[in-house]
Structure 1
C-alpha cells in the first residue's frame, strides 16, 4: 500500500455527507465510512442519491465515499486501513476489500496537552484504610505461588475456606471477602538472571503488597529457579505476620503443607476481619481500563463513555491505567499529543517499537488482532480497533508511562505496557496497584479479577439482553439515542464509587477471579 503521513486534524476539508440515513452513524466529517445501527438490507436508504449495495451487518461499515484502490480509508477522522481495490459508495467495507498499510504517525509530542480541571471537593467512597495509609476496595487473604509446582497445594488451602463449599469456615469473619489462591504456570525452566524471571517476580511482588490483601501466604516447592528468598530480596519485600512464606519440600510434603497453610490462614483471619470501611477521597481509586470481545460499537458507546468516566475520575484526583499496547498500535499518536512531556511520549513510543521488534523476532504480525470475534462484530484492522480502544482513556493528559507490573505512583491518566490479552493485561495492572478494573465488551467476555473487582460495560443492547447476568451496565442506549456518552459516563463513575465501596460486581457473584491471574510469560522456556 502507499505510504501516507498522518496529520491529525490538518487535512483539507471534505464535502459533507448529505441526507445520511438515521440507521447509520457518521463519527467524523472526514470519514469514508458510516456504521450500521442495525442490519441493513440491499437497497436500503444510505444518503442523498445513494442506497446500500449489499447486506450490512449491525455494527459494520458501509462506504459513504468512493475510495480508490490503495487509498486510505478513514473512521474517527483517522486512517483505519487501505482499500484493496476500488470501493463504491454503498459497499460493505471489511476484510474482503480493506487491509493494513504502512503510514507514518505525526507524534507531535505534547501539542494537545492542557490543564486538567480538578474539583474543589472530591467525591468519596467507602474504602478500607490499611495501617500504612494505603486504601483498599476489597479485603482478601491471598495465597501466591512462586512456581507452578506449588499450585495444587495453594488451591487446596484456599478451597478449605470457600464459602460455597465450606460456609462455616468464614462464618465468623464477615469482613473478609475470601481466601484466594492465585496460581500460574511459571517459576522454573527459565533464565535465573533474565528478563522473564524479573517480570514474574515484579508481578508477584505487586500482588504481595497489594492493598486489597490483608495478608499473603506465598508457597514454593523449594528447588525452583524462582526461589522465594530471591524474590523477596530482589523486590524489597519483608517477611512479617502479614507476608508469610513456606515451601513444600521444607515443610515435609503436600499434606503437611496444606495443613500448615490452613492453620496459618486461620491465624490471620481474626486480624483481617477487624477492618472497617470509612469515607475516603476518590483520589485513592486506581482503575485499570480493559476492552475484550470488542465490536463495531466499542468505539462508539462503551469506550468513549468509559473515557468520560475517566475524565471525571481524574478531575477528582484518581488514576486510570490505559494498557494493551498492541491495541493502541496505530493510535499511539493520539496519546503522544496529550503527553505532559516529550519524555512521557517517548516512553510510550519506545514500547511500541519494542512490540514491533518482538513481533518481527517471532514471525508474528501486529495485525493478527482483531480476533475472529472482533471481525464478526465489525472490526477489520488493528488500526480500527486501536482508535476505538484509546477512547477509554478520555481526554485528559497522559502523565506517565510504565512497564508491565511496575508500581503506578502518578495521579491522572497513565499508560502501562501490556499484551492485549485481557487476563495478562489486567494482571499487570493489578500488580501495579489497580484496585478496580473497568472492562468494556461487545461480544460478551466472561472475566473477573481477584483481588480487585471488575466491572463489565456492554457496548450494545443485544448483548445486554443476551448476557445480562455477566454485564454490569448497558452502554447500548447511546447508539439507540436514549442517552448521551456523557450521561453514561456519569453512570459509570457512580458505579466505580459504589463498587469501590463494596457493592459486588456480576463477575464476583459468579466467582470469577482466581483463574484469571495470568502473569506475562516472556522469553524461552528451557
Structure 2
C-alpha cells in the first residue's frame, strides 16, 4: 500500500506520501486512478458544492460530485466565499517561558543602539534605479581589490539596488514604503556601515530622507550624488574611497555572547508543495515556540498566503484589537487585488499546484503553521520597525523577495525559509536557513538545503525536528554560514514593495 496520511479526524481527503496507482488501497479506500505524491485522494463521496476538508479546515468545495478513491485537485475543486468565525483572542493562553537555567545565547555583534547583529556587512544603498550601476561598481571594486582580507570581522560589501525611486507619487504610499525600507536596511543590526548613492534629480531625494530620520554623515554613514560628484566614474572612485575609509570602524567589533532573546527570526515559505503544511512548516513552528520561550521574536508574513487561515491567528491574538488589525489588512488586500483585476485565490502558483496544493486556503493553512502555537503579539505594516517581542505578523505580499525585504527592514537578523519545490533564495544582510519539505528535494538539491524535514514522513517527530531547527538558528546566528551564503545568494533579493502607479 502506498503511504498516506489523514491529518484530522474530520478530513474527507488523505495526502499521498507516495504516488498510488488505480486499484491501490489507501486508508482502506481503493484508488480509482493514479494520484501523484503530495496530492489528495477522496476518502468519502463529496457531493457537488460540499466542503473539502483537510487539517480539519475547509480548503475548497467540490465543483462536481467526487467519488471515494478519486484524485482531488483543481479539476474538481473550486473556491467561493464563506463565513469565518474569528473568535478574537478566545484561544490566547499564557506563553511558556524558559527557566533561567535553560536560557540560551548566541555569538553576535553588539550595536551602539543596543541591538545585536548576526552578520557585519557594509551596504551600498541606492535612492533610485539610475544609481544602481554605480553602486554595483563600487561594491564590486572593493570586493575585487582584496582589501577585505585585512578586515576579518566584515562579511562583505553588498549593493542593494532596486528598480524604483522616481516616477512615483512623492507624497504617496510608494514613497513612504521605500523611505521606510531604506531606513530599515540602514539600521538593521547586521549592517555596520552604509553608503547611499543617488543620481540627484530623482523623486526619492536623499536630503529629504536624511531629514526625515535625523541622519547625519559619520564614519560609518556616507552619501554620494552622481550629478554632484562629476559623473559615474568619479562617483565610483569616491564611493570606493568612502568604503575604504570606513573599513577600520566597521571592522572594530567582535562576536560576544548575546541572549537568544535578541534574535528576530523572519519566517518565509516559497515553492510550496503538499508536504509543506505537514513537515517543514509545523516543525519550524516548534522552533518558533522555542525561540519565543527564550524571549525572542518571530515575524510571520505573506498576507495573501495566510488568507483563509487568518481565523486561526485571530483566536491567538493577545488582544481583540490585534486580531482586528490583522483582519483589516486582509480586507485591504481584497480591495487591492480587486482594483488590479486579480483574485486572492490567484495563488497557488503552477509549481505549488504541481506539488499538490489546490487552493489558496490549503496553502494558507499549511503556511500559517510556521507561526507555532504562541499568542499573536502584534501586527505591523510593511517594513515597519518591529518593536514587540514574541510572535508578530507583518503585512507583506506573498512574493518571497518582496516579503523578506520588508521583514529585514523591520529588523530581522536571521531568516528561515521552507520550500517543497526548491526555491533559490538568499537574503543579505540576513542569513537564510533553507528547509526542505521532502526527501526527494533534499537529495536533488543538497547544495541549497540546510535541513531536511522530509524525514518527518519517516517517523521523526515535529518536536525533534523543531529542536534541530532551533539549534541551527543559534549556530548560524553565531557565524556559521548557510548554503545560500556559500552559493552567494542575497545581493539581488532586495526588492522593496511597490503598490502604486508608476508615472
TM-score interval, smaller chain: over 0.9
Number of aligned residue pairs: give it: 501
Equivalent of 1:172 in 147, 150, 154: 150
Q: How far apart in 2 are the matches of 1:82 and 1:318?
A: 39
Cα deviation, residue 22, structure 1: 6.7
Cα deviation, residue 159, structure 1: 0.3
**Corresponding residue for residue 12 of structure 2:** 32
Q: How far apart in 1 are the matches of 2:486 and 2:211?
A: 37
User: When the two structures are superposed, what TM-score results if normalisation uses the length of structure 1?
Assistant: 0.94
Say whether the 8 Å CA contact 1:404–1:418 is kept in structure 2: yes
Matched, 1:403 2:381: yes
**Corresponding residue for residue 465 of structure 2:** 488
Q: Deviations over 1:309-346 (max 9, x none)?
A: 00000000000000000000000000000000011001
**Corresponding residue for residue 106 of structure 1:** 85
Alignment of 1:314-325 (within 5 A): 314-325=292-303
Q: How far apart in 1 are the matches of 2:484 and 2:7?
A: 32
> CA RMSD for the aligned pairs?
0.9
User: When the two structures are superposed, what TM-score results if normalisation uses the length of structure 2?
Assistant: 0.98
Secondary structure of 1:479 counterpart? helix
Q: Deviations over 1:377-415 (max 9, x none)?
A: 000000000000000000000000000000001110000
Alignment of 1:313-462 (within 5 A): 313-462=291-440
**Corresponding residue for residue 66 of structure 1:** 45
Q: How far apart in 2 are the matches of 1:365 and 1:239?
A: 45
Say whether the 8 Å CA contact 2:127–2:196 is kept in structure 1: yes
Q: How far apart in 2 are the matches of 1:47 and 1:190?
A: 56
Say whether the 8 Å CA contact 1:251–1:257 is kept in structure 2: yes
Matched, 1:205 2:186: no
Say whether the 8 Å CA contact 2:2–2:18 is kept in structure 1: no
Q: Deviations over 1:7-55 (max 9, x none)?
A: xxxxxxxxxxxxxx6711011000011100111111111233x311111
Which consecutive residues of structure 1, in runs of 5 or more, have no partner in the other structure?
1-20
**Corresponding residue for residue 134 of structure 2:** 153
**Corresponding residue for residue 452 of structure 2:** 474
Q: How far apart in 1 are the matches of 2:286 and 2:216?
A: 40
Equivalent of 2:65 in 77, 86, 94: 86
Cα deviation, residue 236, structure 1: 4.1
Cα deviation, residue 246, structure 1: 1.3
Q: Quick one: structure 1 residues 106 and 236, their matched pair in 2 at CA, closer, same or farther if it must change by over 3 Å?
A: farther
**Corresponding residue for residue 129 of structure 1:** 110
Cα deviation, residue 272, structure 1: 1.4
Bigger CA drift: 150-159 or 129-138? 129-138
Equivalent of 2:35 in 49, 52, 56: 56
Q: Quick one: structure 1 residues 237 and 347, their matched pair in 2 at CA, closer, same or farther if it must change by over 3 Å?
A: farther
Bigger CA drift: 447-456 or 118-127? 118-127
Cα deviation, residue 131, structure 1: 2.2
Say whether the 8 Å CA contact 2:2–2:19 is kept in structure 1: no
Q: How far apart in 1 are the matches of 2:463 and 2:341?
A: 42
Q: How far apart in 1 are the matches of 2:120 and 2:377?
A: 29
Q: How far apart in 2 are the matches of 1:95 and 1:513?
A: 35
Q: How far apart in 2 are the matches of 1:222 and 1:462?
A: 51
Equivalent of 2:24 in 44, 55, 60: 44
Q: How far apart in 2 are the matches of 1:506 and 1:489?
A: 19
**Corresponding residue for residue 3 of structure 1:** none
Say whether the 8 Å CA contact 1:160–1:169 is kept in structure 2: no
The structure where helix makes up a greater share of residues is 2
Q: How far apart in 1 are the matches of 2:217 and 2:178?
A: 19
